């Protein structure tokens, strides 16, 4: 029966990956229905805290966009990149990484990709180099962001063990930043120089590709954009500080025990309050918040995690003892094997948050030490492995030189080298930092 149930779970994950978006959550609901009504498994508790965190933080990012704050951030990114055109293969990924870290969503990278492509063209740099590394950097920025769904999920799952946002940042931010640089260096001279690439030369000769000319219109941020970015920044700082120092949190006496406000509740409160401050200070109409792309992306993540995570959690909890007895000793002896599982599950689910919510409880049940789980958390960024995400397709589309592409065998694509280098090195370096932090 276990193997039949496992096949149902895998089938629904594959179906969800093909449907993508909210379809992933819907497919998870079908699997859950089969597990409960056909196989008689007891459903686990839905991941309510994780979903509420995504709603609160996603709403805050969407409010930032509605107030013009994201446009302001993109304008800052463009200024940074155009000041360093000859180093675009390093600067592009770093800007993409830090903007994702700050906002908690890789959506902002979609706005930066066209700038990276144009700067690379102006500098005569093969577009594949900065574009491929920038996509990978933006994906890994999720695991280094204090306001991303993946980080919030990790903290929520391990809060009872004393994990704080600050500890995650001390390990993830530093290890992934170094890994992003290494990933960028791995493609610094990849492929032919741009002016020697036959496809690029053919495009230029046919007139299909010309460099954009004309004076660029200077962006002047509005008062509302500046205010929204300031409020968002304060909210991010508050989450990191309060999530790192429990002594700052209120506590109550309940049944003779001291109960401290939970980290998930802190994130939810700050996210909602910051959104309200931005709406009031910037006179943003609430309807504008729910109709933008960041809000849509966040709510898509909620449904995807709701269905898939609930289904997988129900399956793993029903067979918890079997997994522990079979895999416990192996994974404890070779913890890195769990990182491999995280990587390939992420490649299937195409979601860092859903992968974290689905598999981290399994890692906890297997008895893997908390420092190891934190170090392996960046492995959930295996989304680049199969280039089927919207951001991967966008990165290829925005590269007007045509050098960022998928090969004849699907997996020999532009993102593979920087992706593997960044992912593997972030986990390896993460183990070193985890030994110091914990």
Residues 362, 316 contacting (CB under 8 angstroms): yes
Residues 391, 339 contacting (CB under 8 angstroms): no
103: β partners: none
In 3D space, the residue among 176, 237, 174, 147 whose CA is nearest the CA of residue 436 turns out to be 174
Flag the least confident range among 224-228, 357-361, 362-366, 409-413: 409-413
Tokens of 256: 């003779």
Most confidently modeled of 99-113, 345-359, 410-424? 410-424
- Which pLDDT tens digit goes with each residue over 163-183? 888 899 999 999 999 999 999
* SS3 at position 155: helix
Q: DSSP state, 247?
A: G
Does the pLDDT value for residue 214 go beyond 60? Answer: no
> In 216-262, which ranges are continuous DSSP H helix?
223-244
252: β partners: 259
Tokens of 17: 């990956």
Confidence grade of residue 379 (pLDDT, cut at 50, 70, 90): very high
- Contacts for 246-255 with beta carbons within 8 Å, 24 or more apart? 246/164
Confidence grade of residue 21 (pLDDT, cut at 50, 70, 90): confident
Relative to beta strand 251-254, strand 257-260 is antiparallel
Residue predicted with more confidence, 72 or 161:
72
- Which pLDDT tens digit goes with each residue over 299-311? 887 888 788 889 9
Residues 136, 183 contacting (CB under 8 angstroms): yes
**Residue 126: other Cβ atoms inside 10 A:** 25
Distance CA 45, CA 156 (A): 14
The predicted structure's pLDDT at residue 328: 67
Which residues lie below 8 Å from residue 350, measured CB to CB, with a gap of 6+? 17, 20, 24, 383, 386, 388, 389
**Angle subtended at Cα 35 by Cα 31 and Cα 37, rounded to the nearest 5 degrees:** 110
Mean pLDDT of all residues in 206-229: 78
């Amino acid at each position: 029966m276990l193997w039949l149930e496992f096949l149902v779970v895998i089938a629904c994950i594959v179906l969800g990956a093909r449907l993508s978006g909210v379809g992933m959550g819907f497919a998870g609901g079908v699997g859950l229905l089969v597990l409960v009504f056909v196989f008689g498994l007891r459903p686990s508790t839905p991941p309510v805290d994780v979903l509420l965190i995504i709603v609160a933080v996603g709403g805050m990012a969407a409010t930032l966009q509605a107030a013009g704050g994201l446009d302001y951030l993109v304008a800052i990114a463009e200024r940074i990149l155009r000041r360093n055109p000859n180093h675009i293969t390093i600067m592009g990924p770093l800007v993409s990484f830090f903007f994702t870290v700050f906002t908690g969503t890789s959506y902002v990278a979609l706005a930066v990709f066209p700038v990276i492509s144009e700067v690379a063209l102006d500098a005569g740099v093969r577009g594949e180099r900065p574009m491929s590394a920038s996509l990978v950097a933006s994906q890994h920025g999720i695991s280094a962001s204090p306001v991303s769904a993946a980080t919030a999920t990790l903290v929520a799952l391990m809060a009872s063990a004393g994990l704080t946002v600050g500890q995650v940042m001390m390990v993830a931010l530093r290890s992934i930043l170094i890994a992003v640089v290494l990933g960028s260096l791995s493609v610094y001279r990849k492929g032919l120089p741009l002016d020697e690439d036959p496809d690029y030369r053919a495009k230029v000769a046919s007139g299909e590709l010309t460099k954009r000319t004309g004076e660029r219109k200077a962006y002047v941020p509005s008062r509302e954009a500046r205010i929204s970015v300031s409020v968002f920044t304060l909210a991010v700082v508050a989450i990191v500080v309060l999530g790192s120092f429990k002594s700052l949190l209120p506590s109550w006496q309940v049944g003779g025990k001291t109960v401290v406000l939970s980290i998930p509740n802190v994130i939810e409160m700050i996210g909602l309050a910051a959104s309200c401050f931005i709406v009031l200070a910037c006179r943003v109409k609430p309807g504008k918040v729910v109709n933008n792309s960041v809000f849509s992306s966040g709510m898509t993540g909620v449904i995807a995690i709701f269905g898939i995570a609930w289904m997988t959690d129900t399956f793993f909890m029903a067979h918890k003892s079997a997994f522990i007895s079979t895999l416990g000793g192996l994974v404890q002896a070779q913890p890195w094997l769990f990182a491999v599982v995280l990587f390939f599950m992420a490649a299937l689910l195409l979601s860092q948050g859903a992968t974290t919510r689905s598999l981290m409880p399994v890692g906890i049940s297997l008895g893997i030490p908390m420092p190891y789980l934190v170090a392996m958390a960046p492995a959930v960024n295996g989304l680049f492995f199969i280039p089927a995400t919207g951001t991967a397709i966008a990165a290829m589309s925005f590269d007007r030189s045509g050098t960022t592409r998928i090969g004849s065998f699907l997996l020999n694509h532009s993102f593979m080298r920087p992706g593997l280098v960044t992912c593997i090195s972030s986990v390896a370096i993460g183990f070193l930092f985890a030994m110091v932090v914990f």
